[in-house]
Amino acid sequence: MTIRVLAAGDHFVQNRLLIDALRRAVPGEVDFRELTLPWPLEPFGRVGEVDEASDVESELIEALRGVEVCVTQMAPLTKRVLDASPDLRLFCVSRGGPVNANLEAAARAGVAVTFAPGRNAVATAEHTLAMLLAATRRIPQTHADLAGGVWRGDYYTYDNVGPELEGNTAGLIGYGAIGRRVARMLEGFGAEVLVHDPYVASAPNQVELPELLERSLFVSLHARATPETTGLIGAAEIAAMPRGSVLVNCARGALLDYDAVCDALDSGQLSGAAMDVFPEEPIPPGSRLLTTPNLVMTPHLAGASKETAMKAAAIVAADVARYVRGEPLAHVATP
């Protein structure tokens, strides 16, 4: 029996990666259709009632005619799309969470939604460590000065040099797939690692948040954005950290009060900070983030690696194969 699949890839998780993974994993004949989404060349946003999606509802509806399975990263599974796609039965999102899918509407329509947990854990952990080192050792600032023809000897003064990881304490807020990898890397550098994650009872060196903040010269965020974690770190929490600490956020912008970060950098409470995620993306013109000193920023690409894209394709292809064989799905998000 032939199954019709729409590969709705983009310029990161490309259609060729999705199709190659499906051909390796899925038994039987597959009839492929393709739709290329504009992300990341065009930012994602809210589409209908879903978040972080490419605005391609009409194109997606047309491409889904007669299609049973869709594999994608950024396509919007809205009620409008579901109502117009009666043949659709499986919608596979090749990212860590299916935020671009209306799960309730999908369940009512009999469409299973899967996702790809852990696809970017290695990439994000490595990027986190790079950001921590860059902020601590002033790498972007010193590079910019040298590229501009300026050799600043004052970077070598005691008050301007950063601390070492070895022998100091690093606190990780969140101990999932990414946090565990960051912990191993930091321990390899000789740092003492503290962890705060109320959902992971077996985490080593688990402490309450106030103790972690008080003891940690380096703090890195790895929690999910939920109603409970929104605004988790604000002015009071940053003030509780040792003076001259470094704060890193490669998780979600909602976890952190960014005005408080800017205030702490201006005052010297934080000697450095590194951010890959922001409360508004892209960062709007005139934002304090663009002028605050000792702040290292990257445009939400901590999880971006070639391996992440390949792992994402392989994870969703494996669930399509399970669907074709009539087996339970491994990473289903719908009831």
Nearest CA-CA partner of 113 in 96, 81, 89: 89
Which residues are designated catalytic? 252, 281, 300
Measured over the CA atoms of residue 80, residue 81, residue 84 and residue 89, the dihedral's sign is: negative
Bridge partner list, 173: 196, 221
Query: Which residues are CB-neighbours of 227 under 8 A, at least 6 positions away?
Result: none
Q: How far apart are CA 274 and CA 252, in angstroms?
A: 13
Residues 6+ positions from 113 with CB-CB distance below 8 Å = 77, 91, 92, 93, 98, 101, 103, 106, 332, 333, 334
Query: Nearest CA to 17 among 100, 65, 73, 98?
Result: 73
